[in-house]
Amino acid sequence: MIKMSENKFPLIGEKFPELQVETSMGQVKLPDAYAGKWFMLFSHPGDFTPVCTTEFYSFAKRYEDFQKLNTSLIGLSVDSTISHIEWVNWIEEHLKIKVPFPIIGDAMGRVASRMGMLHAESSTATVRAVFIVDPNSIVRLIMYYPLEIGRNVDELLRVIKALQMNDQYKVALPANWPNSELIGANAIVPSPRTVEDSKTRLSQFKGYAWWLTYKELPEKEVQEGKKFLREKETSK
């Protein structure tokens, strides 16, 4: 693993940096506060803005699904903690849902700058960044969205589930898993490392070539992955 430089944000495979932050729920030390758990740090451009409000409503509504995946949420923007408190109170009063996770107050932009979350055109706005961190405090996924586009919560839940399955079963997951057009809800078997293994791979697993084979996953895991898509369909 590459050692993380102090002048850039952590990359996939690097350890999340140690940060002492002030949040709407008190002081938090990252990543220690989430030792042994997954957590998702995500930034939003600003409190009391329309797209961000729809996102926080969705994150709050799906909070229990993140909890089922042993994943905690922590938000961030370059607003003050007082602003966060007022905003979540407004959401609870007017939209009738409680935001059950902390939001980092970063008015000076210290954390946002350290994590590469500041917008290129404005130092007073954070992009919609997502850092998913595993129980060993290693960054496993990074996503960036523009100011104008809200995130898809189903997709974030799907990739957390997929990362956990990668850890448990040592497999890769195909495009659109669990509804891959090529292999359905199956998992991709890691490619063989020797010529000898390549010659027997298709006799051991189903596949299209020795370097593209797949196997079934436990039904429980498949249904766990599909439930996010099913919930999306039934909500239409």
* Residue 1: pLDDT band with limits 50, 70, 90: very low
Judgement on whether residues 142 and 190 belong to the same structural domain of the protein: no
Judgement on whether residues 29 and 122 belong to the same structural domain of the protein: yes
Judge whether 52 counts as a catalytic residue: yes
User: Does residue 33 form part of some domain?
Assistant: yes
Judgement on whether residues 185 and 141 belong to the same structural domain of the protein: no
Other Cβ atoms less than 10 A from the Cβ of 156: the count is 24
**What is the C-alpha to C-alpha distance for residues 73 and 123, in angstroms, rounded to an integer?**
24
- Catalytic residue from among 52, 76, 153, 156: 52
* Residue 230: pLDDT band with limits 50, 70, 90: low
Domain that holds residue 228: 170-234
Judgement on whether residues 77 and 130 belong to the same structural domain of the protein: yes
User: Does residue 140 form part of some domain?
Assistant: yes
pLDDT-above-90 percentage for the chain:
84
Number of domains in the chain: 2
Query: Cα–Cα–Cα angle for 65, 179, 187, nearest 5°?
Result: 90
User: Does residue 13 form part of some domain?
Assistant: no
Classify 107 as helix, strand or coil: coil
CA distance readout (Å), 15 to 1, 20, 93, 109:
9, 15, 38, 21
Instruction: Count how many residues are written for the chain.
Output: 236
CA distance readout (Å), 90 to 6, 57, 69, 86:
38, 11, 28, 6
**What is the C-alpha to C-alpha distance for residues 141 and 41, in angstroms, rounded to an integer?**
11
User: Does residue 30 form part of some domain?
Assistant: yes
pLDDT in tens, 104-133: 999 999 999 999 998 876 666 789 999 999
User: Does residue 127 form part of some domain?
Assistant: yes
